Structures are given as structure tokens and as C-alpha cells.
Chain A
């Protein structure tokens, strides 16, 4: 039986004037899959991700996210996805509980549901008893874990993670990936960008964008075999070196 597709993109393209940021990319992502989205700075990752999140209209091509059309139903898409980046995460001067309440409220969860979710989440993160701590006072690693849990508080079909682990210590980085695995096991699709190549190897499948195109799409093991190297770093360097355009 064919698995349910959470993202389908066909020849998806975005042009800014005469610059083609994303050039006819075609791919599918299955339900529950951890999908790595790699590329050098300026390869078009952010632009592609913005289109899939319903924040930017494509120039041409088609795409659906959680069964919704990116042209016509982009507002609905925003409700069905979660998003977390390293830069924008939580409100520093709100407490842990207030942040959860704020985001869950924005996503339209009812009060009783918010209460229930808050308790589950605090327990899962071992933050019980600390709900009144200001987010500002949490170590970075905890912020990132909390931020991820809040990004999926409304049980989205898919969560987009934009470099979620930058600068985080190696043990916390791995704890963060355990949360990703748990979410994926619950059926939430994870779409993640990272600069850490060992993390690319945790993904079920990986794409590598070069100059707006998808130049490789496969499981890490198959990519390493195809490019005859023992690490994703090797695959990435071979592909990204082919890039003609520079920077972001």
C-alpha cells in the first residue's frame, strides 16, 4: 500500500525578477518521515520552505501540504503545520507556562485542551515545578527543546525545523533528536534543515539543493553509496562544490 503523502511538490518554482531562487523542484514527503533538507547558504532552502509553509506564493508549479493547495489554501496550511527556527522561538519574558498557553491559544486549542497539553508537555520535558520560570532564564538547549514541543502542541501534520540545533551542546543536540524521533513515531512528519552533517544521517531521506535545484534525493545510506563516500559530509561537499551561484 502506498503511504500517505504529506507534501507533494511538482516543478515548484520561485522567481524574484530575473533571479530563479527555486528552480522546478519535485519531491514527495511521506507521513511520519524525517525529511532532511540540505544545501549551501543561498541554494534556495529558505525560499522553498517559505512556499511550503504558505508564507510565499510560488511563481509556477504545484504543491500540496497536508492535502492543502499552496496557492489557494495557504492560510489553512499555516494552521496545520508547526514551525520552529533557531532565531525566532519563544517569548523570553513570558514563563514556560505562559509561552505554552500563548502558542496553543494562537493555534486555537480550547482551554481544557491547553491545560491537558501543558501538563503532558511539562512532564515529557521534565520541567514539572518549573512552569513559572521565565524562558529567558532557561539554558539554550532547554529553550530549543521547549520550543520544539510547543511547535507541535497542536498536533500538526508536519513540523518545519529550520536549523533547530545550531550552537547547542552535543549531548543536548542528541536529546533534541530523541524528541524528533518521538514526534515522527507519533506520525508527525518532520522537515528539517541543518548544517550538522551527522544529523543529516538521522533522516529517513535527504535532499540536497544546489543553485535552486534538487540535485540529490535519497536515503543517506544510498547517497553515500552513490557518491562513494563514508559520510554525508562527503556527499554534501561533492554536490555543493558544483554550485555556480554564491551566497544567500
Chain B
């Protein structure tokens, strides 16, 4: 039995006369002990999906199950066994760190002591502040406390909705290291993120855009779906170079990536020569052209345009 099965889920919101399609019939399933990433920008439908799977929102149509329980009929069973960390900090701001953790343990008929092993690694990092009110914690510490509270009843499936949004690169890295340690405990993790670079840290990912899944695969699999050659180019004047490349009719796409532009041509042949000609025609200097492997963001943008 797969811990998460999503089958043709549709979600619509009605605001006065307009209907917003938040999820347009999406399907995927997650294996036990997997870290499965939902990668997509704001408005893609990530939170709607999480709320449906955690039984907080009823889908318009379609079916879904968590640990074999139906999200509509068996909502109480699901609520008892999953952990959910919403995107917005939702703990009690005026309870202390320790009080929050005790509160969540008690609600699930357990105690901090009983499952301390599971949260220990994370909790010791915030323990020095255990008497501090949750509202007074820094962003990184709030996130750690929220994860502890979502874990304290030893859930079989953990739902993390954008746990790393607005968190700096160092804390983000630490957070993912924590998730990988949890995976060893056989907890299934569904995690969403708008940061494309985090896709490579998941076992499998679904790329979500405007309520539709663009692709479901391993990060490597997604990259191998990118069929055309990709070129990285840099020169002395990057802004002008971008315009020159985009004006060329043989170019399919050109996007800035840090110090380079990533370029795809409509046909697969002679990319390097074509870029060389564009650079020569525009009198660019310090031109460097290299053939590169696409990253998840390259793939996401290519799929968005399809």
C-alpha cells in the first residue's frame, strides 16, 4: 500500500462569479519512506493539495488516500496519524517552546518522553530557549519548533508545506539535512517548495504549475527528459547579449542564470557555431560558450512553455 495516492483531484474556488481552478485533475502516488517534493511557484496549487491531503479541505472531485485511508470518509484516522507543518507559522505564539511541544504531544495522547528520540536532534538546537515564547523566536527557530510539533506523535506521513520559504541558504541546508535523517526512520515526507534547487534533494518530485503537473520523476529523470542541447554563454555586456540572442530567429529560448545565459536553439545542430556568429555580429568580447547539463529550473521553464 502506498502511503499517499492522489487520483485526478480537482479543486476550484469560487469568488463571486469567477471560478479559479486551483488543481486541474492531478494524479501521483508516493512510496513508503520517500521524500517527495512538490515543486512550483506561488499560486501553483501546492497549499490546496496539502490541505486536501490533510483533510482540511474538500476537493471538488477526484480521490485521494493517505496510509490507505480515504481523505473524505476516514478523515479522523488520517488526522491521528499524519504530521502537518503549514506554510504559515501556526503554533501558539504566547506559549513557550516547551509548552507548545507538550500541548501537541498531549493532543495526540502521547508525551515528549515517549517519542523524544524522533525529535531529539532538532529539539536540542532550540532547547536553550525552551522557556521563550514561540512568538519571540527567530524564523529558523520557529521552523525547527514547528517541525518538532509535527513529529512529536510519531506520524507515519509528514506534510511540510513550504518549510524553507523565506529562510536563508544556510538554514535551508540544515533543514534538508534534518529531513534526510527523518527518512532513515521510514517516515514518508511530502514537502513543497518554490526553490527549484531543492528538487535535487528529493527522491522524486512533481513539478506543479497553475494547477497542473508538468512532470513526475526523479530529479535525474526530469533532467534526462530535457532533450535539446543546452548552451551557457557569457560575454562582456550581458544585457545586450541577451537581446542579441533573443532577436535571432533560430533561438528557442534564452534565460539568464547567474553569470551566464542559458540558450536553447530550435534545431539541435551547430549551437556553438550559431552562438559564435551572434557574438561576432554584435562585436562582443570575452565570449565564452560551453555545452552544459540542464538543471531543474531549465527543465521547469522548458515545460512551462510547452
Contacts and interface: CB of A to CB of B under 8 A. Distances in A.
A202 B258 contact: yes
A236 B169 contact: yes
Interface string A157-200: 00000010011111110100100010001000000000111101
Contacts of B300: 170
A233 B43 CA distance: 27
Interface in B140-180: 140-141, 165-171, 173
A237 B169 contact: yes
A169 B195 CA distance: 9
Contact of A240 (B170, B239, B301): B170
Nearest to A140: B42
A171 B301 contact: yes
Interface in B278-305: 297, 300-301, 304-305
A170 B171 contact: no
Contacts of B194: 166-168
A109 interface: no
A231 B300 CA distance: 21
A220 B258 CA distance: 9
B170 A248 contact: no
A240 B141 contact: no
A219 B235 CA distance: 15
**Chain B interface secondary structure, helix, strand, loop or mixed?**
mixed
Contacts, number: 95
A42 B258 contact: no
B55 interface: no
Given A170-B41, A170-B196, A231-B258, A197 B139 contact: no
A237 B256 contact: no
A185 B41 contact: no
A221 interface: yes
B264 to A, nearest CB: 13
A13 to B, nearest CB: 21
A163 B166 contact: yes
25 contacts: A40-B171, A41-B167, A41-B168, A41-B171, A42-B138, A140-B41, A140-B42, A166-B166, A167-B194, A168-B41, A169-B40, A169-B41, A169-B209, A170-B255, A170-B301, A171-B255, A174-B256, A195-B166, A197-B169, A200-B258, A236-B170, A237-B169, A240-B168, A246-B138, A247-B137
Interface of A: 39-42, 137, 139-141, 163, 166-172, 174, 177, 181, 185, 195-198, 200-202, 220-221, 231-233, 236-237, 240-241, 243, 246-248
Given A140-B41, A171-B301, 20 more contacts: A39-B168, A42-B139, A166-B166, A168-B194, A169-B44, A169-B209, A170-B300, A171-B304, A177-B256, A185-B239, A198-B257, A200-B258, A202-B258, A220-B258, A231-B258, A232-B258, A236-B169, A237-B169, A243-B170, A248-B140
Interface of B: 18, 40-44, 137-141, 165-171, 173, 194-196, 209, 239, 255-259, 297, 300-301, 304-305
